[in-house]
């Protein structure tokens, strides 16, 4: 005869924790995260906090994020905000900035944004810095940072393409041009056919910006860039076929 487990027990975090500890007295970070999430789902943040006391190694940022959320659930916003500030200053992501602001009093928001602006201006990753500056409403500085980067800046960042699109929307075509050129150059230099569709789209956007008669100085001219790419990558016929198809599609 099979004994039925009461439905409520399936969602009881204490039962879940005891079950794991019977075969694993020293739970790993994945198991600890599961414990924390179970206690938070049960609205028991104090019990969740007990599993968030020590470093989780490579997943430390996950622990800190959960700890800040748990402290917030306990009303300990000053401690939570300190953690969120640390996470933001380590990443300079707009997501972490918003999370930091959530646990700060309104009177502290201006100072936090000023701090974020200062860090962005001195950050060594132009894509991250420009994304944050644009989020803070300083599109001029966002474009200036990109313009100050050397011609060899590579389009490796996951956020590069969305940033270029956002800069166009903010009427900052030179900053967008820097990114689109870097994206095209990176994809072609890697000779990755799977990326040619995206590279062709970026190429078309570069042509559209140039067709608007935008002054690109101090960047090199559009014509010079096109000539360089055509010379260096003339044999990448799959890419040029994509470009021709994209331009025909845009003309229809």
More confident of the two residues 9 and 122: 122
Question: What domain range includes position 21?
Answer: 1-44
User: Is residue 94 assigned to a domain?
Assistant: no
User: Would you say 49 and 55 are in contact if contact means Cβ atoms under 8 Å apart?
Assistant: no
Query: What is the rounded average pLDDT of the residues 141-146?
Result: 96
Q: Which two tokens stand for residue 112?
A: 């936090």
Query: What is the rounded average pLDDT of the residues 3-28?
Result: 78
Total count of domains within the chain: 2
User: Is residue 74 assigned to a domain?
Assistant: no
User: Would you say 221 and 176 are in contact if contact means Cβ atoms under 8 Å apart?
Assistant: no
User: Is residue 17 assigned to a domain?
Assistant: yes
Collapsing DSSP to helix, strand or coil, 248 comes out as helix
Task: Give the tens place of pLDDT for each residue, 160-209.
Answer: 999 999 999 999 999 999 999 999 999 999 998 999 999 999 999 999 99
User: Is residue 134 assigned to a domain?
Assistant: no
Total number of residues shown for the chain: 252
User: Is residue 87 assigned to a domain?
Assistant: no
User: Is residue 54 assigned to a domain?
Assistant: no
Separation between Cα atoms, residue 160 and residue 147, nearest integer Å: 14
Please check the confidence at residue 3 and state whether its pLDDT lies above 90.
Answer: no
């Amino acid at each position: 005869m099979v004994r039925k487990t009461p439905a409520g027990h399936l969602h009881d975090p204490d039962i879940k924790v005891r079950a794991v500890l019977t075969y694993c007295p020293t739970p790993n970070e994945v198991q600890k995260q599961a414990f924390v999430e179970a206690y938070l789902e049960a609205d028991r943040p104090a019990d969740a906090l007990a599993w968030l006391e020590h470093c989780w190694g490579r997943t430390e940022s996950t622990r800190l994020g959960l700890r800040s959320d748990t402290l917030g659930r306990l009303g300990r916003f000053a401690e939570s905000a300190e953690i969120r500030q640390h996470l933001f200053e380590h990443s300079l992501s707009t997501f972490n900035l918003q999370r930091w602001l959530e646990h700060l009093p309104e009177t502290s928001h201006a100072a936090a944004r000023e701090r974020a602006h200062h860090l962005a201006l001195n950050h060594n990753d132009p894509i991250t810095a420009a994304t944050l500056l644009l989020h803070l409403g300083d599109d001029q500085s966002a474009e200036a940072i990109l313009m100050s980067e050397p011609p060899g800046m590579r389009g490796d960042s996951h956020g590069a393409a969305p940033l270029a699109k956002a800069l166009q929307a903010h009427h900052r075509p030179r900053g967008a041009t820097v990114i689109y050129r870097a994206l095209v150059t990176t994809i072609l230099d890697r000779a990755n056919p799977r990326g040619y569709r995206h590279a062709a789209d970026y190429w078309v956007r570069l042509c559209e910006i140039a067709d608007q008669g935008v002054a690109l100085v101090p960047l090199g001219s559009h014509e010079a860039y096109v000539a360089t790419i055509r010379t260096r990558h003339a044999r990448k016929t799959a890419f040029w076929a994509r470009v021709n198809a994209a331009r025909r599609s845009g003309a229809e």
